[in-house]
């Protein structure tokens, strides 16, 4: 319980900058958990490679649906697959721009807290030569707490952003391989059907 009172005290020392930093932390955690769920639910790779056992909104099912019944011209199927892949990339990347913004904004807000805390400390030194030691140390503490919290938020968010960005890149590569395989099978079936007749 003593640890929690220390955390609460540190937040109180951080000053008003802690409030926007807390909002950034909540937004980063919300987006991270949302993206983790979306990736787990709609983009995990099937164990046996069978896309039919996956949920209806799974990325492979969405791409597979663009094949239709196979009677469309190949160029039309390719165009549909490209459009679906672009939409999938947008859907899976949703919110990553905000994570990237938080990576930049959190340390800057922490730095703002540092400046405000140091200004508070220097103001207490005053022109009379009178120094309030507890006030000066409180301003320095405010500066350090705000900076530390901003850096922690930025580091955690940076790892989440990089992880999901890399997953999007890998997913697009996998979707391209999946589509090329299906299109190759369709072309082969049409060539064999044309040769048989």
| Parent domain of 67 | 2-42+56-196
**pLDDT tens by residue, the chain, 197 residues:** 455 555 566 566 667 888 899 999 999 999 999 999 998 888 877 666 555 666 667 888 888 788 776 678 888 888 888 998 899 999 999 999 999 999 999 999 988 888 877 777 776 666 565 566 665 566 666 678 888 899 999 999 999 999 999 999 999 998 899 888 888 888 888 888 766 65
Query: Is residue 49, in this structure, part of any structural domain at all?
Result: no
Collapsed DSSP state (helix, strand, coil) of residue 18: helix
Position 90 in a domain: yes
Specify if 51 maps to a domain.
Answer: no
Answer whether 103's CB lies under 8 Å from 154's CB. yes
- Counting the structural domains of the chain, the total is 1
**Which residues are CB-neighbours of 176 under 8 A, at least 6 positions away?**
85
Residue 47 is assigned to a structural domain of this protein: no
Residues 6+ apart with CB under 8 A from 118: 139, 140, 143
Rounded to an integer, what distance in angstroms lies between the CA atom of residue 57 and that of residue 145?
A: 44
Q: Is residue 175 part of a domain?
A: yes
């Amino acid at each position: 319980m003593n640890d929690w009172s220390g955390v609460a005290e540190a937040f109180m020392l951080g000053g008003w900058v802690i409030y926007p930093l807390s909002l950034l932390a909540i937004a980063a955690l919300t987006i991270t958990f949302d993206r983790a769920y979306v990736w787990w639910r709609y983009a995990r790779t099937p164990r046996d490679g069978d896309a039919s056992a996956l949920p209806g909104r799974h990325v492979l099912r969405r791409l597979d649906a663009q094949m239709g019944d196979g009677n469309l011209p190949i160029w039309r199927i390719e165009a549909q697959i490209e459009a679906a892949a672009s939409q999938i990339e947008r859907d899976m990347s949703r919110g990553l721009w905000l994570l990237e913004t938080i990576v930049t904004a959190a340390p800057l807000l922490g730095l703002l807290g540092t400046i405000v805390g140091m200004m508070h400390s220097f103001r207490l030194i005053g022109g009379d030569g009178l120094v309030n030691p507890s006030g000066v140390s409180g301003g320095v503490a405010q500066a350090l707490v705000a900076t530390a919290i901003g850096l922690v938020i930025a580091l955690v968010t940076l790892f989440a952003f990089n992880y999901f960005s890399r997953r999007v890149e890998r997913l697009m590569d996998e979707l391209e391989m999946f589509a090329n395989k299906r299109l190759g099978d369709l072309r082969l079936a049409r060539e064999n059907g044309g040769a048989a007749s």
